[in-house]
Structure 1
Amino acid sequence: MGKSKVYFTNMHATIKENLPQKLRRLIKTAGIGQIDFDRKFTAIKIHFGEPGNLAYLRPNYAKTVADVVKELGGKPFLTDCNTLYVGGRKNALDHLSSAYVNGFSLLSTGCHIIIADGLKGTDEALVPVKNGEYVKEAKIGQAVMDADVFISLSHFKGHESTGFGGTLKNIGMGCGSRAGKMEMHSSGKPHVSHSKCVGCGTCIKNCAHDAITLKDHKATIDHNKCVGCGRCIGVCPMDAVQPASDESNDILNKKIAEYSAAVLYGRPNFHISLVIDVSPYCDCHSENDIPIVPDVGMFASFDPVALDVACADAVNRQSVIKGSILEKNGHKHQDYFTDVSPETNWRVAIDHAVKLNLGNKEYELITI
């Protein structure tokens, strides 16, 4: 297999070309027009940002991508799936409200927003994973799988569990339904924090497998009956039902690669990653620390694996920002993401994705 092409442009702008225009030129030069968009529903997978976090991608970038898709005859929509954890995006209504707060709307982006796994995170498609080592049938948000074309628009930054959050993380973890996210994070089942449980019984009414009962006015989950669908997590008004988080980071990375394969196999896809505001941790946090390196630029490719590797290499070539967590931790590992989160190894996901024929880690960087 030859080297994959990854296209790059920096963040310098001129009077003749601003950053949205530069992004437009980047993705068109990278070949997005090779895809047949004619009357095709096109999912643009993005992270809308947890309220309070200001490192997420501005909606202006999403509008640029959506406009190009429309010019090519497509029917774009912005999408993401609900979160597994407590926060501003745990159900579709809160998720949409958070997106609006952070500036995403039909008026600002030129396309609609669809939360792919529905109101409570249970609208999912079961997608076989060919040659999956850990996942045989991925649970993907239904609207993602209903789309004819898939585009990922990722904010490249650090991540405390996977090393960095880039294209594969945006696709694999981001497109998993609540049950899918639980499968990636855990080999176990959810449990109830009795200190938070008020015995309201909402979880019991929403369990299709009779796995939850009340004992001493507190909910208890029978793991022999529980199938791990995560519905109880979404409906609990007290956030008392909590997922397990007992999978190693390496296995988590491999499962993310397998979920990415489920999303991408069998349909046209294209990938964009912006290496800006490179915060040390995920945009799922309701806060963000100062970036660990200066802004690098915008990248695009048909190969999600090569794209992630190119972005990681670019970050590792940058100078360290003074006062950042990276400077405080020191950088002795020759890899900034390991320096920030020493228990992680992002190369596990890359190597596993290559094994799954998702892409190539050898790339040719083409600067425009």
Structure 2
Amino acid sequence: MPSKVYFTNMRATPELNLLQKLEKLMKSAGIGEIDFKKQFTAIKIHLGEPGNIAYLRPNFSKVVADVIKELGGKPFLTDSNTLYVGRRKDALEHLDAAYENGYNPFCTGCQVIIADGLKGTDEALILVEGGEYVKEAKIGRAIADADIIISLSHFKGHELTGFGGAVKNLGMGSGSRAGKMEMHSEGKPSISEEKCIGCGRCARNCAQRAISIKAGKASIDHEKCVGCGRCISACPFDAVMPDWDGSNDVLNKKMAEYAKAVIFGKPNFHICLVIDVSPFCDCHVENDAAVTPDIGFFASFDPVALDQACADAVMKAPAISGTYLTDQLHENGADPDHFHAMHPTTKWQVMLEHAEKLGMGTRKYELIEV
């Protein structure tokens, strides 16, 4: 049976603005069927790397939070620390970035909690039923502790996964730093001798005693290393680097398995906003020009059907001239798949096929316009 995906376009009137349309969409899609009464509700969102302005405006998250509160729930916005070097790699910098981007209780009507704690090590281990690559997902504890999961995603291109939507927001976005390393890599971290000053913080945070200081530089014994990622978060000089050696297809499958760990056994509901469709992730400090016109808002109880519907809508949309998409089409030739045209080494279908295989949902959908 196809899943129901609800859609509303970007047209607005004085009687019905975009924020009101988002509220109407959520209620039409059936969010009220969830029993929110006194339930801690995680609104999983990407808070945006400062410098990037394609991330979702906090106004949208306030609509979601207000609906949840109206239904008796206790909402909070949440994201996990990043693995890459940037301004969201620990909770203090992450909160500073969130506030700078407008994500504070005065704008959103609820608190922001960094799910995996101060250094990205506060995680819960969750079994992945049917997981082929991940047996135990390392999920940010605040997300793992939530009673209900709501994903609010900015749908856009992504250089490693083709696009970023609900499944990526849930999977990659909910993993602790060690979880993110597990998804991205089959290997162990390494040391940049150029950046390392031999301070020993990484060694002091290694429970496996796999790190030693030799000739004023840190060294990792990969025989002892278990790939937990704690040394990455411990280093204040970004000298400990993950080994980005996993294939994009495997990354997509691991991400789906992590997403299943997040929502399995819990009420969940998903929203994607297909606006400001930038070619790259909101983790970039820049967002580049939108590659298609804004399309609208989508919502569903099925994150797989939701991502498929959003992908289909983007691929049907015309490419905007003078963007990264048209640059790639001019260089490489026509391609009906906008995401593959922008990022030829990716195959986003792998993620949805694997999520469907895991029982997270179906790629078949019925689109219902609100």
Q: Same fold (TM over 0.5)?
A: yes
Q: 2:77 is matched by which residue type in structure 1?
A: L
TM-aligned CA deviation for residue 44 of structure 1: 0.1
For 1:66-104, what per-residue CA distance to the aligned partner results, in whole angstroms no more than 9, with x for missing partners? Answer: 000000000000000000010010000000000000000
Cα distance in 2 for residues equivalent to 1:253 and 1:203: 29
Structure-1-length-normalised TM-score: 0.99
- Structure 1: tracts of 5 or more residues without a match: none
TM-aligned CA deviation for residue 235 of structure 1: 1.5
TM-aligned CA deviation for residue 333 of structure 1: 2.5
Q: SS of 1:344's equivalent?
A: coil
Cα distance in 1 for residues equivalent to 2:91 and 2:234: 12
TM-aligned CA deviation for residue 332 of structure 1: 2.1
Partner of residue 210, structure 1: 209
* 1:285-324 mapped onto 2 (5 Å cutoff): 285-324=284-323
Partner of residue 70, structure 2: 71
Q: CA RMSD in A?
A: 0.6
Identity of aligned pairs, percent? Answer: 66
Partner of residue 30, structure 1: 29
Cα distance in 2 for residues equivalent to 1:238 and 1:42: 35
Cα distance in 1 for residues equivalent to 2:147 and 2:293: 36
Partner of residue 240, structure 2: 241
Partner of residue 336, structure 2: 334
* 1:108-257 mapped onto 2 (5 Å cutoff): 108-257=107-256
Structure-2-length-normalised TM-score: 0.99
Q: SS of 1:245's equivalent?
A: coil
Aligned partner of 2:357 among 355, 358, 363: 355
Partner of residue 86, structure 1: 85
Q: SS of 1:357's equivalent?
A: coil
* 1:253-264 mapped onto 2 (5 Å cutoff): 253-264=252-263
Q: SS of 1:213's equivalent?
A: strand
* Equivalent pairs, count: 367
Of 331-340 and 282-291, more deviation after overlay is shown by 331-340
Cα distance in 1 for residues equivalent to 2:340 and 2:29: 30
TM-aligned CA deviation for residue 268 of structure 1: 0.1
Q: SS of 1:257's equivalent?
A: helix
Cα distance in 2 for residues equivalent to 1:256 and 1:21: 32
Q: 1:346 is matched by which residue type in structure 2?
A: W
TM-aligned CA deviation for residue 226 of structure 1: 1.1
Cα distance in 1 for residues equivalent to 2:17 and 2:335: 37
Partner of residue 61, structure 2: 62
Of 149-158 and 331-340, more deviation after overlay is shown by 331-340
Cα distance in 2 for residues equivalent to 1:132 and 1:333: 33
